[in-house]
Structure 1
């Protein structure tokens, strides 16, 4: 009987506090035991949509090429730029003759319209002096290239990850490279050669307005030089009197060379029209939905304005742990419109200070908290991302209200550069209420209890 009365008293305290204080925290289910309580915050949570002013797209794991429109988040146009260089010296006898030149690309996946064939073009980048090449390139960057394509290829629905896409390079490109080789100019680090040949731009064909594909960007290194999916430009040649014994020489891409995705996005005609870096669109103004979109830098900000009030709840209660659950809007994802396999959150404040933090001098620094995608069968296969944000809440409580904290919900860095997957996130005013903060607290008994 005494245990039952203690449980009722504890529940009553929390209920009274939730009614008297505007923190939107209410009991979530029965007590695990008389000393522990779970509380659920949905009502006080505020969500916003924001966009980065730029994204570093240098040396991406995937090349993104194509154009497409996305529900609620506008259109994208993606092209890739690729620098290729010799890894060694090419020595040729005078009796060697040029055969052909092929750019070998390697397929990853179709991000949209995977059941349709679409064309893509390869263009020669105009020579860029190596001293003018940047260390980092961003999504808004590009390089000057010759409009007339020197090669084309077609995506086929039968393509599988890792399939080779040999693109024959036409025109005088091969003859020019071969002539430089005969002069002994083709070798690693030769600035004279590098200033004459920069590489290629890969673009969607003029009629391709609805498909985006990704290609593997496996860089050459001494460890993986024999890897089958290393992007390469292969020049074939033969002895003048022997056409049957063709030889070849490869120019490789490397993480030390320039490669990047150039991505143009437009939000015109959507509820996010006008969104720019420095602006913040409340989900209350965008249909009670906030957005996350890879590839273009759109992310959601989640504000928990009353978390610091937990310190005022009672001196007898200790915060134990917290789980942030994010459930995308049902009906906005499917097999053809997949959600990201994972998302990440990190803590920031009104000064936009981010980075690692070390709660309670534990020596365990954290930056991103990750969650994989799962499905809740009890909610009809509702998609859910579940983050253990215990240390993030600890950091906010330890700050004791000195700063205004919020959490940034974004694709992981690896996904940001590899896809255009998006998440539509309903706020607390939406009937699906897609953001929940579950807090787990313990009552500490005093000597007189």
Structure 2
């Protein structure tokens, strides 16, 4: 009788609403045995949102610039800093200066409404391009001092799907003339001379516009035409009118570590306005039964299954065959569906929201949340599925009580600002985040 009472108690604790346990005999040879397959799909789920303390912002190999306003995620701003260099400092004494500008080449990434006009302003960095951190790395909250007066600006409607296209921002004529003359007159002859004189640039978007964030590519190679960088244009010989007489000196971002994106979000008027630190988890009950993920600023959805360990009480010997977690993204319009990623990365975190490891399946292979999206009028068949077999098995076989949860984030969360809203409940008030565990009981 005690065994039956214990099983009933465990099932009651496992189920958030009702118990739906199915037993399936494993073939006719086991008719008179206790070996069977059990499925439990009504686990208690705790869901919330937390914010990572900081994200590595250098070595992402993407210039990310723009501003986007959102009811859930507030005002997001991405400002990019970079140092430019060259290894060639040879200009004929007969050459004549023409102009200077900054070229930004699209890399296909964009977030937001690209039909809107955006304005970029370029400023000169006024301190040495160096990170003030123990690991000499820049983070999303890093900043460098820069001149308040802009060197140049441009307003434009982007075409981010054209990787051969670019944005050209004319810069201050006198700055270019000064650099040109210092190089021509041999005052600057080496890369070290140049970076001591010219620390770098920062590009700042118009923060009053609710527009978009764009990605631009850069390579440490001046021979590539579709490369972002600063360029000085000049004429080699004033008496020569041929096309070959027009020259340019290109200054490129020589290393990914010499560029970073300062990404911030003002969450004051959003449901996520009270993060104290990265240990703070805001429950879905406080955010209209939704949880949130946004790359770039480190907002992460957190899913916890507190009663998972109680599965062990159902049997002294069992083995997980399959475990699948499903959750549905919020889709208000076709645009929301269009921006859904085919997969999301999943991490295991502890009770303080510290990352323990990336999620793996029972065979140790990295497991992602993959999108399943069938065509239906109300998007009811659009959801993400995660293989939790390795996670469940780890929890059940651990000798200690692992107080672990799952963190949902974008795979390139250090160089994008993509976002997703996850529904905690469906339109009928039922659980929209579900775990189904199939295990062999013997």
Same fold by TM (over 0.5)? yes
Match of 1:283 in 2: 284
Q: Which one of the candidate residues 9, 13, 35 is aligned to 1:22?
A: 13
What is the rounded CA distance, in whole Å, between the counterparts of 2:356 and 2:426 in structure 1? 28
Question: Helix, strand or coil for the counterpart of 2:246?
Answer: strand
Q: Could you tell me how far 1:18 is from its partner in structure 2?
A: 7.1
What is the rounded CA distance, in whole Å, between the counterparts of 1:14 and 1:250 in structure 2? 78
How has the CA–CA distance of structure 1 residues 154 and 267 changed in structure 2, closer, same or farther, with 3 Å as cutoff? same
How has the CA–CA distance of structure 1 residues 255 and 396 changed in structure 2, closer, same or farther, with 3 Å as cutoff? farther
String of CA shifts for 1:395-449, please: whole Å, max 9, x gaps.
Answer: 212214433121112222x1442124232331589725331112111233xxxxx
Q: Could you tell me how far 1:130 is from its partner in structure 2?
A: 5.1
What is the rounded CA distance, in whole Å, between the counterparts of 2:348 and 2:47 in structure 1? 14
What is the rounded CA distance, in whole Å, between the counterparts of 2:374 and 2:199 in structure 1? 50
Pairing 1:41–2:38 present: no
What is the rounded CA distance, in whole Å, between the counterparts of 1:370 and 1:433 in structure 2? 21
Q: How does 1:116-135 map to 2 (within 5 A)?
A: 116-126=116-126, 128-129=127-128, 135=136
Q: Which moved more, 1:31-40 or 1:387-396?
A: 31-40
What is the rounded CA distance, in whole Å, between the counterparts of 1:195 and 1:365 in structure 2? 49
String of CA shifts for 1:140-172, please: whole Å, max 9, x gaps.
Answer: 222222222222223325553312212221232
Pairing 1:373–2:374 present: no
String of CA shifts for 1:32-80, please: whole Å, max 9, x gaps.
Answer: 96543332134x1101111112221113343332222212222212211
Q: Could you tell me how far 1:20 is from its partner in structure 2?
A: 4.8
How has the CA–CA distance of structure 1 residues 158 and 403 changed in structure 2, closer, same or farther, with 3 Å as cutoff? closer
Q: Could you tell me how far 1:359 is from its partner in structure 2?
A: 9.2
Structure 2 unpaired stretches of 5+: 28-35
Question: Helix, strand or coil for the counterpart of 1:195?
Answer: helix
Match of 1:175 in 2: 177
Native 8 Å contact 1:216 1:229 kept in 2: no
Native 8 Å contact 2:123 2:203 kept in 1: yes
Q: Could you tell me how far 1:373 is from its partner in structure 2?
A: 2.5
Match of 1:103 in 2: 102
What is the rounded CA distance, in whole Å, between the counterparts of 2:287 and 2:160 in structure 1? 39
How has the CA–CA distance of structure 1 residues 102 and 443 changed in structure 2, closer, same or farther, with 3 Å as cutoff? same
Q: Could you tell me how far 1:180 is from its partner in structure 2?
A: 2.4
Q: How does 1:24-173 map to 2 (within 5 A)?
A: 24=15, 26-27=19-20, 31=24, 35-42=36-43, 44-86=44-86, 88-107=87-106, 108-126=108-126, 128-129=127-128, 135-156=136-157, 158=159, 160-162=161-163, 163-173=165-175
String of CA shifts for 1:91-140, please: whole Å, max 9, x gaps.
Answer: 122222212212110123542222222222222222x2356676311222
Native 8 Å contact 2:104 2:229 kept in 1: yes
What is the rounded CA distance, in whole Å, between the counterparts of 1:381 and 1:256 in structure 2? 42
Return the TM-score normalized by structure 1.
Answer: 0.82
Return the TM-score normalized by structure 2.
Answer: 0.84
Q: Could you tell me how far 1:28 is from its partner in structure 2?
A: 6.6
How has the CA–CA distance of structure 1 residues 212 and 359 changed in structure 2, closer, same or farther, with 3 Å as cutoff? closer
Structure 1 unpaired stretches of 5+: 1-12, 445-449
Q: Could you tell me how far 1:335 is from its partner in structure 2?
A: 4.6
Native 8 Å contact 2:143 2:262 kept in 1: yes
Match of 1:237 in 2: 234
What is the rounded CA distance, in whole Å, between the counterparts of 1:232 and 1:382 in structure 2? 45
Match of 1:9 in 2: none
Native 8 Å contact 1:329 1:432 kept in 2: no
Native 8 Å contact 1:323 1:439 kept in 2: yes
Match of 2:423 in 1: 425
Native 8 Å contact 2:331 2:379 kept in 1: no
What is the rounded CA distance, in whole Å, between the counterparts of 2:428 and 2:282 in structure 1? 16
Match of 2:313 in 1: 312
Native 8 Å contact 1:53 1:276 kept in 2: no
Native 8 Å contact 1:45 1:303 kept in 2: yes
Question: Helix, strand or coil for the counterpart of 2:182?
Answer: helix
- How many residues in Structure 1 have an aligned counterpart in Structure 2? 420
Native 8 Å contact 2:292 2:419 kept in 1: no
